[in-house]
Chains A and B, each alone.
Chain A
Amino acid sequence: MKKNNLGKLLILMLCLPFILMGCSQSREKITIVGSSALQPLIEQAGNDYHLAHLSSNIVVQGGGSGTGLSQVQAGAVEVGTSDVFAETQKGIDAKKLEDYPVAVVGIVPIANKETGVKNLSIKQLSDIFTGKIKNWRQVGGKNQSIIVINRSRGSGTRSTFEDLILKGKEAVNSQEQDSNGTVKKIVNSTPGTISYISFPYANDQNIQKISINHIQPDNKNIPTNKWPLWSYEHMYTKGKPNKATAAFIKYVLSKKVQRDLVPKIGYLSIHEMKVTRDSQNKVTKIGN
């Protein structure tokens, strides 16, 4: 008898993966994969949405913008989220994807507190990240060499920063860190470091936020493009979304989410923007 039970247990374990696979096939399932920056917002919105629509089933996963775009293009998921325009990614046919910008997030250069620099021009920033300026003295700070902490190649934050600040020039080969939190910690503790993080992470007394051309990094400077360093958070679907997906995207774009949830996470509502920017970084005023 005991032996028999063991055998059954073994069979059960062998079959378990298939049983579990069967479980996941349920009704109105929306899988959302991609940008880790957008993940908390979509997760929260998904939970709220589920409470109102109990038949919905929204699964949110990270994985990065590249993953999001390639998965949605392959049709493996309903929605791919990304910090970058699909047009800028090689291997992605943006024409087949439907773009829904759902929020805007600012990016701010940060430096170690002791460098003595609080403001830089775009030219200076560009020279620092391309390795032309190597000492904080050259930009009015202490005599201390500059240590550039870059973001992971291909990450949304880095693409945005390089497009808008370096304008196509190649960044100096340097340390790369993946997450906003780690970057903040390193800049806080390592003398002479400079990097950039997204706004929601920047409210910290231990790091020096750097203003660009004396414009303060503030959410209220973004809608007019006065603070130029910002990016959209996109939700992409392959072609026209199905009914359930369309309903959820509509919910994310609704006033309820855009007014309460989006600012709470530190992002800017897409409805507040007074300008738009296309994938070639051309800025146009809304209404013109």
Chain B
Amino acid sequence: MAKKEQDLQQVVEDALAEQKVPHVKFKGIDPRNIDVDRLTKPSKETRQERWGKGLTFLAIILIGVLIVAIIGFVGMHGLATFIDNKVNVFHFLFSTDWNPGAGKNHVGAAAMIVTSFAVTLLAAIIATPFSIAVALFMTEYVSGKRVQILQSFMELLVGIPSVVYGFIGLMVVVPAVRAVFGGTGFGILTATLILFVMVLPTITSLTVDAFKAIPKELRKSSAALGATKWQTIYHVVLRAARSRIMTAIIFGMARAFGEALAVQMAIGNAVLMPYNLVSPAATLTSQLTSQMGNTVMGTLPNNALWSLALLLLIMSLVFNFLVHLIGKKG
């Protein structure tokens, strides 16, 4: 016992000398009157530590199970089209004949795949220059209060529910497109114009972050070399932020690709290969939302919709993967 007491005293003295663990109270500890249990059993702080760790771990497990369950469920139903109903995968990907109610030779999703990609790419192409310009203005040209005002405007755009965008699209954009370009006003162009506004805040705020992350020293060095503001922006800021801008665009595209409601209201929902920008078409998501309630679980039309959902899921994984890839490359 005497040995142990000595050891303990040594430990306490060392700790007091270094004070590495300031929250532990040493004052009450007397080496001759030691409560060995208290010192060797886990303290209150340790229990708190374990408790918190366990709780967060539980949350992670729960989310993990959820994700696996969702992927498993969508995968199971989505693959049933090809396994149970014996639909050819190539037929599904490349045929434009979509009428799953009529049998396994009418499950071609090509028209929807093409349309989904078309609206996504077009929306990103239109939105990117605007986003970069706005982000440049917000980081390079104004400062202080005005940035905050602009920022809150952008956040406001994010907060508008997609059904509101869709409704505005239906009431304003559709008639406008009809008046200018003819046709019914429903089609890829209309959907693109709506999606453009919807992805704008996403791309802009991420681009703003990209510009903010560039060290001030780079800008100052450029100025010291005699570059004008524009030369600095063009040759230094934009170049240094290139990969993060790419990430921003891909996040915007992921949002556009998955958007269902607003697109469904504006695109016309005709499962046809689009032959121009104002002909009615249908995206993967719009077909899903408009058809899900009308099909019977377990039948081919229902499984075919699950396959569309699986395709969407795979695409969002691809978008995520791209973001990681770009992030790694720097």
Measuring CB to CB, which residues of chain A are less than 8 angstroms from any residue of chain B? 3, 7, 10-11, 14, 36, 62-67, 69-71, 74, 89-92, 147, 152-155, 170, 173-178, 182, 185-186, 189-190, 193
Chain A residues with CB under 8 Å of B184's CB are 147, 175, 186, 190, 193
Contact of B270 among A67, A89, A175, A186 (CB under 8 A): A175
* Interface mask (B260-301 → A, CB under 8 Å = 1, otherwise 0): 000011001111100000001010000000111111111111
Within the complex, the shortest CB–CB distance from A194 to chain B, in Å, comes to 12
Is the pair B271, A173 in contact by a Cβ cutoff of 8 Å? yes
Chain A residues with CB under 8 Å of B291's CB are 152-154
Question: Which stretch of B51-59, B142-150, B212-220 is in the interface?
Answer: B51-59
Contact of B294 among A152, A174, A186 (CB under 8 A): A152
Is the pair A14, B59 in contact by a Cβ cutoff of 8 Å? yes
Within the complex, the shortest CB–CB distance from B254 to chain A, in Å, comes to 25
CA distance A14 to B48 in the complex (A): 18
Is the pair B101, A67 in contact by a Cβ cutoff of 8 Å? no
Q: Quick one: closest B residue to A76, CB to CB?
A: B297
Q: Which of B157-184 contact A (CB under 8 A)?
A: 170, 174-175, 178, 184
A-B contact pairs, 24 of them (CB 8 A): A7-B51, A7-B55, A11-B55, A62-B293, A63-B293, A64-B293, A67-B297, A69-B296, A70-B296, A70-B302, A74-B297, A90-B296, A90-B300, A91-B296, A153-B99, A173-B270, A174-B270, A174-B280, A175-B186, A176-B268, A176-B282, A177-B269, A177-B290, A189-B174
Is B185 engaged at the interface, CB distance under 8 Å to the other chain? Answer: yes
Assuming the contacts A153-B99, A189-B175, asked whether A175 and B269 have C-beta atoms less than 8 A apart, the reply is: yes
Taking A14-B58, A70-B298, A193-B184 as known contacts, 9 extra A-B pairs with beta carbons closer than 8 A to each other, sorted by chain A number, are: A7-B55, A67-B292, A67-B293, A91-B302, A153-B99, A174-B280, A175-B268, A176-B290, A186-B186
Contact of B170 among A3, A92, A175, A185 (CB under 8 A): A185
CA distance A3 to B265 in the complex (A): 47
Is B1 engaged at the interface, CB distance under 8 Å to the other chain? Answer: no
Is B156 engaged at the interface, CB distance under 8 Å to the other chain? Answer: no
Chain B residues with CB under 8 Å of A189's CB are 174-175
Q: Which of B80-129 contact A (CB under 8 A)?
A: 99, 101
Chain A residues with CB under 8 Å of B55's CB are 7, 10-11
Is the pair A66, B48 in contact by a Cβ cutoff of 8 Å? no
Chain B residues with CB under 8 Å of A91's CB are 296-299, 302
Within the complex, the shortest CB–CB distance from B127 to chain A, in Å, comes to 26
CA distance A182 to B268 in the complex (A): 11
Q: How many A-B residue pairs have CB under 8 A?
A: 97
Is the pair A173, B290 in contact by a Cβ cutoff of 8 Å? no
Is the pair A154, B170 in contact by a Cβ cutoff of 8 Å? no
CA distance A90 to B294 in the complex (A): 12
Q: Quick one: closest B residue to A92, CB to CB?
A: B296
The secondary-structure label for the interface of chain A is mixed
Is the pair B296, A89 in contact by a Cβ cutoff of 8 Å? yes
Q: Quick one: closest A residue to B51, CB to CB?
A: A7
Is the pair B293, A66 in contact by a Cβ cutoff of 8 Å? yes
- The winner among A3, A70, A175 for most chain B CB atoms within 10 A is A175
Q: Quick one: closest A residue to B289, CB to CB?
A: A178
* Interface mask (B44-69 → A, CB under 8 Å = 1, otherwise 0): 00001001100100110010000000
Within the complex, the shortest CB–CB distance from A16 to chain B, in Å, comes to 12
CA distance A121 to B302 in the complex (A): 35
Chain B residues with CB under 8 Å of A147's CB are 184
CA distance A36 to B280 in the complex (A): 25
CA distance A74 to B99 in the complex (A): 25
Chain A residues with CB under 8 Å of B178's CB are 190
Q: Quick one: closest B residue to A152, CB to CB?
A: B290
Within the complex, the shortest CB–CB distance from A65 to chain B, in Å, comes to 6
Is the pair B270, A154 in contact by a Cβ cutoff of 8 Å? no
CA distance A63 to B302 in the complex (A): 14
Q: Quick one: closest B residue to A62, CB to CB?
A: B293
CA distance A178 to B270 in the complex (A): 12
Within the complex, the shortest CB–CB distance from B235 to chain A, in Å, comes to 49
Q: Quick one: closest A residue to B295, CB to CB?
A: A66
Chain A residues with CB under 8 Å of B302's CB are 66, 70, 91
Is the pair A175, B280 in contact by a Cβ cutoff of 8 Å? yes
Chain A residues with CB under 8 Å of B101's CB are 90, 153-154
Chain B residues with CB under 8 Å of A70's CB are 296-298, 302
Chain B residues with CB under 8 Å of A173's CB are 270-272
Shortest Cβ-Cβ A-B pairs, 9 listed: A64-B293, A154-B294, A91-B299, A70-B297, A91-B296, A175-B268, A176-B269, A175-B280, A175-B270
Chain B residues with CB under 8 Å of A186's CB are 184, 186
CA distance A90 to B304 in the complex (A): 14
Contact of A3 among B48, B174, B296 (CB under 8 A): B48
Q: Quick one: closest A residue to B298, CB to CB?
A: A91
CA distance A158 to B186 in the complex (A): 21
Is the pair A155, B294 in contact by a Cβ cutoff of 8 Å? yes
CA distance A63 to B292 in the complex (A): 8
CA distance A7 to B58 in the complex (A): 12
Assuming the contacts A64-B294, A174-B280, asked whether A90 and B99 have C-beta atoms less than 8 A apart, the reply is: no
